[in-house]
Structure 1
Amino acid sequence: MRRTIQIEFNELSPTLIDEFIAAGELPNFRRLQESSAVFVTDASDENNLEPWVQWPTLHTGIADCDHGIQHLGEGKRVVGRGVARELADAGFRVGVFGSMNLDYGPLDGFVVPDPWSPNATPHPAGLSAFTKFVVSAVQENSANTLDKQAAVPFLAYIATHGLTPATAALAARQLIDERRDPGLKWRRSIVLDAISYDVFRKLVRRHDVAYATFFSNSTAHFQHYFWRNFRPESFSAPPPPEDHPSLMDAVLTGYRNYDRLIGRFLADFPDDRLVFATALSQQPWDTTKCTYRPTDFDRLLEVLELDPSRTSVAPVMAEEFLLSFSDEASAHEALTRLKGSLVGDQPLFRFEHAEPLRIKVGCAVNDWSPSVGTVTLPNGRQVPFESLFSRIHTIRSGRHHPDGCFWVQCPTPRTGGEKIPLTSVAPTILRLFGVDPPSYMKAPAVEFLAVQKD
């Protein structure tokens, strides 16, 4: 059975890919495209256009109105379902590397949970040395900090699990560049992509899986924040003057980085079938929306007068963080104080109290301003907004779009870009292995002669 590797580059734009290919910027994407059946997935029927919703839809073939996932960390809603689980149950060895918001549980091959699910368990267990650091790197990306305690076992792990000299050199160059110019820290995720690929390649070869996924989010982040720097003519307001000049190249740099990774996939797995998917995409967004996160979580608990012995805080994604409590009384007290915190006459926080002992919180201020104003706390104390919160990165400039990429390498390529429902991806992957889709996958597989079990 020919191995299938599913490359998951979150939210890449089919339009930008075609534009960059035509300009000669993405030679490896061109090679993959010209050897594939090329489709555009359509997520316009989904109620909530977010990657943590669309990736579960892609993997399970279940529309979001049926799988019910609306937030990060809800992968258990589809536990026991999805392509990887169906293939495993059919006797195939499978591996999952970072696929977003899914809970496949232990598999015969390997599982690297997505970095936004810190409580998920990697398999084999030794992968935790890798995943703990990645979780800290991704969740603290907005603060430009790294968990030094997790770095030591991480470095020891990657040194013995596939790290290449080229990746080590890339990491060294990044550290040198950052020391010379801290404004280049945005490139860290490119280094993490290279390290992740090294580890992924080692896992695929060691476990000899028949199906594997590889997920990356780096360029989605660049698009969300730096599209304005990339194409300022598409926006009514220019980038903020404090933005680093290098950010004008961030989006194209992200696509070039993925092109290098595609080249590695093609070189390292020449006899395997590559599948490329994005689940959704992005488009320019002419807005002045931006996001703020607490500068110091301990100080935030202090000014809100929340007992740190009964309250813990953990970042989730971008401006969001999770408050967890030892008892319901503490949770109720926190909820009251969150509601009573104002900036001007508007709420300071937005929050979801989905579980009795946990509240997901984010700053409700979401518009760019040189000075936001004064925060009034429930006890009447007033403090400057800037003493509690810092703006993340820059003004938002990319928003989600329902079109996504779905390319399948095959002997007789077709590049027409036919549109298919996002729910058709999962049954199509199963058909590559001669596995009949389960009853919960209601959309038909894409039928075309060139793709068949081999």
Structure 2
Amino acid sequence: MNSDKSVILLEFNELCPSLIERFIQEGKLPNFQRLYEESEVYITDAEEEPPYLEPWIQWVTVHSGVPYSEHQVFLLDEGYKLKSKSIWDILSDAGLKVWICGSMNISYNPSLNGYIMPDFWSTKITPNSEELLLYFRFVQKQVQEHTNDSVPLNTGDYLRFLDFMKNHGLSLDTISAIIQQLIREKITGKYRWQRATIADKLQFDLFRSYYHKIRPRFSTFFINSTAHFQHMYWRNMEPDKFQIKPSVKEQIEYENAILYGYQEMDKLIGKFLNLSDDKTTFILSTALSQQPCFTYEETGGKRLCRPRKFESLLDFAGVKSNYICSPVMAEEFHVRFENEQDATEAEQKLINLQINQRQIMRLRRNGNDIFGGCGIFEEIPQNAILNIANSKKSIPFFDIFYQIEDIKSGMHHPDGILWIRKPSCKHSIHEGKISLCSIAPTILELLEIPKADFMKGTALV
């Protein structure tokens, strides 16, 4: 085993092979172009169809080398249910240090040799270091409430976070970007959505700080900002393809939102390449990608509604038992009860919520855990009344819910990017598509660790 070799896995969620190719050809992604020209290039196949085509399913496959048919991790925040070891557990067992920064839907061995910070939708898995917990909790609140006007953070929270970052890699570039972002918002009253890329910059600063501190043999870096832009602003990038056209006002702000996301990630690629030495292999993986979503055009486009406060929703529904509620992505959330009977009763009460005799909640219960969200995806009238079936209890719908402003216009696609840049920087393009199950054994092979018996894919090197 060569003790000098290292691998950095860049997990840029849902970037699209076709858009990368287009933007590179237009000369807009110089660092992606360099990485491409120095890499072995593959297209991955998620090998799943909806409802199993979701990043929180595919990233589990990437990390374990096991397909969904075996790992059965279906929901976000259920990575702890994975029965097999992930790459970092295997490498840690072999004595290699690891640094897992934001990877989605994970589990890990408590004796892990290194640092681990889960994705910010995680409520059951937390960082394995107290010092990372402050960063994790702060960003988690921002991410989970990014569509809400009221984020539950106060001045003290911001000051403690800045003090933490000051001692954990905060760069002048990031400080400058934060100041410019706030000034832009103040002057224009727009562009709040670009804050997602500020979070990426802060996370890179944190990653670099720990990378220099422990010199891990294997590390990951997961970000989701551009995936979010694609879901929300594909209509603005290619309005001619959609039946529902964005307004002139929307186009002024969002026409180049997706390109902006790719260009911000391009800057991060440049920073990562500056971290490398002649023993480092870079792997860029997206797990899956996206495509324009036309499914809801006939009903006005896919619109999402989310509770203003989840406690208000459950209180109106008549749920009195103890619970813990945590938001996930977009309109969805988890509610966990102390026992299965309480969860069953709460499920029935939430099912009884309706508008004009139409059930509004889409729910999935597993034991004492309910996962769900508002299941109506068209525009809801401003005078809509929320009521409980077979009851006179009612309230204006928008007293409890708010409608997320943007119309969702991107959807998942099974193709994904996989670029492997070895120290030799040899470029080659591989025809056909390869399974996501091949990524984990490939990483082990690069670090000269035997493939685990449970892994289904074949190493690519």
Superposition TM-score tier, normalisation by shorter sequence: over 0.9
**Structure 1 residue runs without a partner (length 5+):** 448-454
150-159 or 246-255: which moved more? Answer: 150-159
The answer as to whether partners of 1:227 and 1:397 remain within 8 angstroms in 2 is yes
Q: What does the per-residue CA deviation read over 1:40-95, in whole Å, with 9 as the maximum and x for residues that have no partner?
A: 00113467100000001011110001000100111122255121111111221111
1:35-114 equivalences in 2 (<5 Å): 35-45=38-48, 48-78=52-82, 81-106=85-110, 107-114=112-119
Q: Structure 2 length normalisation: TM-score?
A: 0.91
Q: Which residue of 2 aligns with 1:420?
A: 434
Q: Which amino acid aligns with 1:428?
A: T
Q: Percent identity?
A: 37
1:247 aligns with 2:254: yes
**Equivalent pairs, count:** 445
Let me know the Cα RMSD of the aligned residues. 2.0
The answer as to whether partners of 1:12 and 1:404 remain within 8 angstroms in 2 is yes
The answer as to whether partners of 2:80 and 2:125 remain within 8 angstroms in 1 is no
Quick one: distance in 2 between partners of 1:398 and 1:359?
27
Q: Which residue of 1 aligns with 2:414?
A: 402
1:125 aligns with 2:130: yes
1:212 to 194, 219, 233: 219
1:389 aligns with 2:401: yes
Q: Which residue of 1 aligns with 2:307?
A: 294
1:317 to 329, 340, 348: 329
Q: Which amino acid aligns with 2:444?
A: L
Q: CA deviation at 1:240?
A: 5.9
Q: CA deviation at 1:273?
A: 1.7
**Structure 2 residue runs without a partner (length 5+):** none
196-205 or 97-106: which moved more? Answer: 97-106
The 3-state SS of whatever aligns with 1:148 is: coil
Q: Which residue of 2 aligns with 1:374?
A: 385
1:300-379 equivalences in 2 (<5 Å): 300-307=313-320, 310-326=322-338, 330-356=342-368, 358-369=369-380, 371=382, 373-378=384-389, 379=391
Q: What does the per-residue CA deviation read over 1:163-186, in whole Å, with 9 as the maximum and x for residues that have no partner?
A: 001101111222222233443110
1:224 to 215, 226, 231: 231
Q: CA deviation at 1:285?
A: 0.9
Q: Which amino acid aligns with 1:389?
A: F
Q: Structure 1 length normalisation: TM-score?
A: 0.93
Q: CA deviation at 1:241?
A: 7.1
Q: Which amino acid aligns with 2:304?
A: T
The answer as to whether partners of 1:61 and 1:426 remain within 8 angstroms in 2 is yes
Q: Which residue of 2 aligns with 1:452?
A: none
Q: Which residue of 2 aligns with 1:434?
A: 448
Q: Which residue of 1 aligns with 2:285?
A: 277
Q: Which residue of 1 aligns with 2:23?
A: 20
Change (3 A) 1:329 1:355: closer
Quick one: distance in 2 between partners of 1:188 and 1:244?
19
Runs of 4+ in structure 1 over 6 Å off: none
Q: Which residue of 2 aligns with 1:268?
A: 275
The 3-state SS of whatever aligns with 2:366 is: strand
Quick one: distance in 2 between partners of 1:194 and 1:105?
28
Q: CA deviation at 1:193?
A: 0.2
